[in-house]
């Protein structure tokens, strides 16, 4: 709240001059005395008080407009993020897609159907993202953090997920053929209806995965998998999986 207090009227110059102890100081005292009169005059000028109130009011209006337009700024930010993703569609490299995807997911925007095939996305963090029917085929997702994502009906054919974390990921009806999952964390992931033909699962953590209704695993390499559920290895080999410690040079 603004409080306006008029200044006290300065004393006459004669009194001020008389109280000055040294004559050499008179010019400085006179200058200060003149400024006191200017300040006194301005303190009684109503226009300045009005302008002070208007300045405070303008700040208030700016704050109101800032918050009122916050929704539009968020929409504009999301539009720009989608533009980055769509413009680079089908191209290699990152092209700013890592930041765009993470920003959209941080704002809880569904990434349903997003196409980032063949993109370079190493170290991507999309925990709990909605990636239903998305296309990550041939994408480089090494060391990415994809815990709790929904990859239902997604295409990850030939994706490089080496060292990635898909803890509690939902991979129902997901195409993971020819994918590289070596050393990845697949604990508690749901592979119901998923296809993992020719996938490289060497050293992957399979703790408590849902595998009983996996669609196919022919040619997948399950050598040195960790924490495999009881019965999984025998079932996988019976359905065409292999246990090659070294990758096929061909």
DSSP track, 76-93: HHHHHHHHHHHHTTT-SS
Residue 214 has pLDDT above 70, yes or no: yes
Higher-scoring residue by pLDDT: 1, 186: 186
Where are the alpha helices (H) located in 20-139, listed in sequence order? 26-43, 46-68, 70-87, 97-106
Mean pLDDT of the chain: 87
What pLDDT does residue 33 have? 73
Distance, CA of 149 to CA of 170 (rounded, Å): 6
pTM of the predicted model over 0.75? no
Q: Give the CA distances from residue 67 to residues 30, 64, 148, in Å, rounded to whole numbers and listed in that order.
A: 51, 5, 33
More confident residue, 59 or 183: 183
Phi, psi of 4 (to 5 degrees): -105, 120
Classified as helix, coil or strand, 101 is: helix
Residues 141-182 pLDDT 10s: 999 999 999 999 999 999 999 999 999 999 999 999 999 999
Query: Within a 10 A sphere around the Cβ of 160, how many other Cβ atoms?
Result: 23
């Amino acid at each position: 709240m603004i409080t306006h207090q008029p200044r006290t009227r300065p004393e006459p110059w004669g009194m001020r001059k008389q109280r000055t102890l040294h004559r050499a100081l008179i010019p400085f005292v006179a200058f200060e005395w003149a400024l006191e009169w200017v300040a006194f005059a301005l303190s009684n000028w109503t226009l300045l008080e009005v302008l002070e109130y208007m300045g405070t009011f303008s700040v208030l209006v700016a704050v109101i407009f800032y918050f009122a337009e916050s929704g539009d700024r968020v929409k504009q930010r999301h539009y720009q993020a989608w533009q980055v993703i769509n413009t680079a569609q089908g191209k290699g490299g990152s092209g700013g897609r890592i930041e765009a995807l993470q920003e959209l997911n941080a704002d809880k925007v569904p990434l349903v159907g997003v196409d980032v095939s063949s993109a370079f996305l190493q170290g991507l963090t999309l925990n709990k993202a909605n990636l239903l029917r998305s296309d990550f085929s041939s994408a480089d997702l090494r060391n990415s953090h994809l815990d709790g994502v929904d990859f239902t009906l997604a295409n990850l054919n030939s994706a490089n997920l080496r060292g990635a974390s898909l803890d509690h990921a939902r991979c129902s009806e997901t195409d993971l053929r020819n994918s590289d999952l070596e050393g990845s964390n697949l604990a508690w992931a749901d592979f119901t209806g998923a296809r993992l033909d020719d996938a490289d699962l060497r050293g992957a953590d399979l703790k408590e995965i849902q595998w009983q209704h996996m669609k196919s695993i022919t040619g997948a390499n399950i050598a040195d998998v960790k924490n495999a559920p009881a019965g999984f290895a025998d079932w996988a080999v019976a359905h065409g999986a292999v246990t090659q410690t070294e990758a096929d040079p061909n």
